[in-house]
Amino acid sequence: MHQVSLSAIPGLPDIQPGDDLAKIIGDVLETHGVQDGDILCIAHKIVSKSEGDVIKLADVTPSEEAQDYAQQLNKDPAKVEVVLQQSNRVVRAFKRPAQNEGTMICEHRLGFISANAAVDESNSDEGTVITLPKDPDASARRLGHALEERFGLRIGIVITDTFGRPWRLGQVNVAIGLHRVPAKTSDIGGTDAWGRDLSVTEPALSDELAAASGLVIAKAAKTPLVLCRGVNWTTDEETTARKILRASSEDMFR
């Protein structure tokens, strides 16, 4: 019987800019136990914090464009400026009557499409916002290599963020940075149990893991680290989370 376990790893301290996150995660993993083939899902906020991707809004000078959006959407101009600086472009901007503050759906400069370019006010100190890490795949690789060296094991890393979706309410975690774990797997060319071609089945393994980690992450309880054990997976040395992005030219919804 195939079984996967998801464990919230306790004991992480508050992460501060400059912290050696690989060392800190390694220490809690040593207490918890880690095995070959384990995959760590890490909420990006602790990665962003350790890498200093925290912006003081008082230091931000809103552009004219930011001020226009801020007025239209009833948002803080400095926050809007950060959102615009993080974005290639604004895909949609709207404020419904029921909303106090409007929403900007943006294409982040890394290619991800999400609300407010993934700029996050929660889990940060008052007056500051947290952005995505500058290169989440590089962050994942760096963490992964350090942990693999320390423990002498193959360890997958999925750095996650919490995204809304078109058409469906609520949020799920998705992958934004990867080490070894393939962005998606492929059943192309295989056959299902009834012998039919599985011509277009490509399970988004990295996003399945990210979403699953949400089952044990409790935002209110500071558990940004989830260990997934028992997953059937094959190393992809060339993996990046960007590989899961649909090419703009093949996308019917932007």
Residues 191-220 that bind a copy of itself (CB under 8 A): 191-194, 196-198, 201-205, 207-209, 211-212, 214-216, 218-220
Q: How far is the CB of 248 from a copy of itself (least distance, A)?
A: 9
The phi and psi torsions of 27 (rounded to 5 degrees) equal -65, -45
- Min dist. Cβ of residue 99 to a copy of itself (A): 10
Gap between the Cα atoms of 59 and 176, Å rounded: 27
CB of residue 94 to a copy of itself, shortest distance in Å = 6
Torsion of CA 158, 164, 170, 174, to 10 degrees: -10
54 binds a copy of itself (CB under 8 A): no
Site for a copy of itself contains 231 (CB under 8 A): yes
Tokens of 201: 């089945």
Q: How far is CA 48 from CA 84, 120, 191, in A?
A: 18, 11, 42
Q: Is 124 in the site for a copy of itself (CB under 8 A)?
A: yes
Find out whether 139 and 51 touch, Cβ atoms under 8 Å: yes
Per CB under 8 A, which of residues 77..116 are in contact with a copy of itself? 92, 94, 96, 105, 112-113
By CB under 8 A, residue 71 contacts a copy of itself: no
Q: How far is the CB of 64 from a copy of itself (least distance, A)?
A: 24
CA distance 84 to 104: 10
| Per-residue binding letters, 1-40, with a copy of itself (x by CB under 8 A) | xxxxxxxxxx---------------------x--------
Please give the torsion angle defined by the CA atoms of residues 119, 124, 126 and 127, in that order, rounded to the nearest 10 degrees: -40
CB atoms within 10 A of CB 216: 17
Decide: is 134 part of the binding site for a copy of itself (CB under 8 A).
Answer: no
Instruction: Give the pair of three-digit tokens for residue 200.
Output: 């277009």
Does residue 68 touch a copy of itself according to CB under 8 A? no
Dihedrals phi, psi of 67, to nearest 5 degrees = -65, -35
- Lay out the site mask for a copy of itself across 148-177 (x = CB under 8 A, - = otherwise): --------------x--xxxxxxxxxx---
